[in-house]
Structure 1
């Protein structure tokens, strides 16, 4: 882990917080993600469990899928299911997922790829491991992030963005101790390939043992960090956090994470996802696979799903 990297981070563009505007964001909370099963039974950690929506907005939830090393016959996915009113961002670090929808879309995401699905007015969707992975087993690790849509965009036509790992913007921290994969948004004047309806920033950072990374952060964004592997600390106060824990930052114009000098044997670096977004600040009604602005809109989504207005499973589909 991970699939997309750089042989020499020192050759990449550097990003650092400007000293004259770098009011540091304090750490407000560190939470631990509970574990569970999703879909047909693959293991997940609910990254944002216990964090109030005031601190998450515009993000809704995030699952860390795996990391799991499957035996032959064990890989699992999800059955056909509906979505409406938000976007799903599926980032595959190791392994492969095949996806298909009721609008004729689909594809394969693997080893550093991101599938950005804008559910909008609604569709049916399935994600599954390819047959060869089911037969052989193997490593699987990824994330799925849900991003809310503002009311004006909740009923737009569904669409996909297939963001290949090779198109992710690779950057380095000021001293080269952190490799930054900018998947979406802007960081220090550099833009990631993901196009978003709500302004957000999504970064996968690999921080070398003992290194510190301080990044500029939009003052009007929220700020979250999640540990994918390894251990370290966050903020000027050096609040410890590790794999399976989330950090909620307060207001400010920069954020800092550090890697412990000694990491576990499975991961050479402290692997962290950094997220920020412009809060939508609209009422949110969330139930299962639907995220709307009111209970009446949720009821309509269920009615539309049951009536087949979100699409039908294609003939011959699994």
Structure 2
């Protein structure tokens, strides 16, 4: 029996950009840009490719708290250095992924890596907020540093390209990042004319972020650089054909059907949990991090 096509709901243009700190010029596709169902993914901030001039003092975002979810940062161009209140630090280079579980609470800051800042150049990133179910919202904070060299890869037939499996799986190739709920996060690096086939459960919320190039979806719809393809919750099969060399970030996950209470960098289930997060932050329970 042939799988039913997962049809396109909409092809969305990038919303007007805004600055996060002075280092990230982002298009917020959701939840503010478009009201689309993408749980367990709560937010997609897309830093479309931009050229930053050389600068001695690195641009970035100062100290800020998080609780109740995970941040996933994927680098395509440029480099970002990060520090947190648990003493963790590192650099995210092109192709790398940083998966930070904020859980019960952490302070964090992110800046352009020093050498990149002094040289300047192309900068392109994605940051996702992945919601945590109620039972895991207060889990101990942790990091998963996924270096590009360590990402699981599935080579497509006919020189079509490569699927990088960050989390979840593709054709039995499993990603190295662990998740709290079932989801797939993939980078499809497709050569011109190459085709890739995907199969996600009908109820999974699914979207494609076109990072580079242009692709034809299911033989009909064309999506181009900086557009987001949102799919309906029906059918399972998707075909993507690269009309030129392309990179597509693929998100698909089982929705978390729980109430959401959000205030700034806190993502909880109830308003009283937001107030508790604010109180804990003000009382220094998230630790300390130098500006």
* Fold conserved between structures, TM > 0.5: yes
Structure 1: distance between partners of 2:281 and 2:11 = 37
* Pairing of 1:164-183 with structure 2 (within 5 A): 164-183=147-166
* Pairing of 1:132-281 with structure 2 (within 5 A): 132-236=115-219, 238-250=220-232, 251-260=234-243, 263=244, 269-281=245-257
CA-CA distance at 1:30 after TM superposition: 1.5
1:165-216 per-residue CA deviation (whole Å, 9 max, x = no partner) reads 1111111334331321111111121101111111110111122223332222
Q: Is the 8 A contact 2:74 2:127 kept in 1?
A: yes
1:119-153 per-residue CA deviation (whole Å, 9 max, x = no partner) reads 00011000112222222212222211110000000
Larger mean Cα displacement after TM superposition, 153-162 or 87-96: 87-96
Q: 1:291 corresponds to which residue?
A: 267
Q: Is the 8 A contact 2:168 2:185 kept in 1?
A: yes
1:288-311 per-residue CA deviation (whole Å, 9 max, x = no partner) reads 111000111112111211221112
What is the CA RMSD across the aligned residues, in angstroms?
1.8
| Structure 1: gaps (5+ residues) | 1-19, 264-268
| Structure 2: gaps (5+ residues) | none
2:12 maps to 1:47 = no
CA-CA distance at 1:21 after TM superposition: 4.9
CA-CA distance at 1:116 after TM superposition: 0.5
Structure 2: distance between partners of 1:296 and 1:24 = 42
Q: Is the 8 A contact 2:6 2:202 kept in 1?
A: no
Query: Once superposed, which parts of structure 1, at least 4 consecutive aligned residues long, lie more than 6 Å away?
Result: none
CA-CA distance at 1:50 after TM superposition: 4.0
Q: 1:118 corresponds to which residue?
A: 101
**Structure that is richer in strand per residue:** 2
Count of equivalent residues:
287
Q: Is the 8 A contact 1:173 1:214 kept in 2?
A: no
Q: Aligned to 1:61, what secondary structure does the other structure show?
A: strand
Q: Is the 8 A contact 1:188 1:216 kept in 2?
A: no
2:30 maps to 1:28 = no
Structure 2: distance between partners of 1:59 and 1:139 = 26
1:51-80 per-residue CA deviation (whole Å, 9 max, x = no partner) reads 435x21110111122412222118521111
- Normalised to the residue count of structure 1, the TM-score between the two structures is 0.85
Q: 1:77 corresponds to which residue?
A: 60
- Normalised to the residue count of structure 2, the TM-score between the two structures is 0.92
